[in-house]
Amino acid sequence: MCRGCYKWGEDEDGPDLPTLGRREIVEAGPLVKTLKERWPALFTERQLFAEFNRIATTNLENYFFGAVDCYTPCFVTIFKSKKGSVGEKLAEIVQLIDSRKPNVTAVRTLVLQGLSVLLGDDPSNF
């Protein structure tokens, strides 16, 4: 079976990238497009978390959402300080954040939408 058709083995920790594949990625530094074609399973949420945990011995999802929760008040302050068209979009998001305080998932989503507006990206993908 060619590498592009490699079927990931299922175990308790999820699929594991073969050692030769890791070496190829680190040494050759291929483009992301090439990686997606050759190793599509690397781009699943489950595999991303497993690889991060293997390398950093940290649960990426818990770490990320913990940081979002920790910095939410700072983000809201930044959102409130912005002016112009970006400030108007962020003001709408801040109002929604204030109205949904008990719902942690909704607040996280709104903060991430606000960050995308602040950085000039399209927040509609959330």
Q: The tokens of 12 are what?
A: 């308790």
54 and 65 in a common domain = no
CB 86 within 8 A of CB 117: yes
- What is the number of domains present in the chain? 2
Helix (H) or strand (E) holding 69: helix 60-81
pLDDT value for 124: 79
pLDDT value for 11: 46
The domain of 102 spans 61-125
107 and 92 in a common domain = yes
pLDDT value for 126: 67
pLDDT value for 1: 36
47 and 19 in a common domain = yes
pLDDT value for 5: 38
Distance CA 26, CA 32 (A): 12
- DSSP 8-state code for residue 7: P
120 and 69 in a common domain = yes
pTM of the model: 0.65
66 and 100 in a common domain = yes
pLDDT value for 102: 80
CB 25 within 8 A of CB 35: yes
* Rounded average pLDDT per 10-residue block, the chain, 126 residues: 40 53 77 84 86 90 94 95 94 90 89 94 78
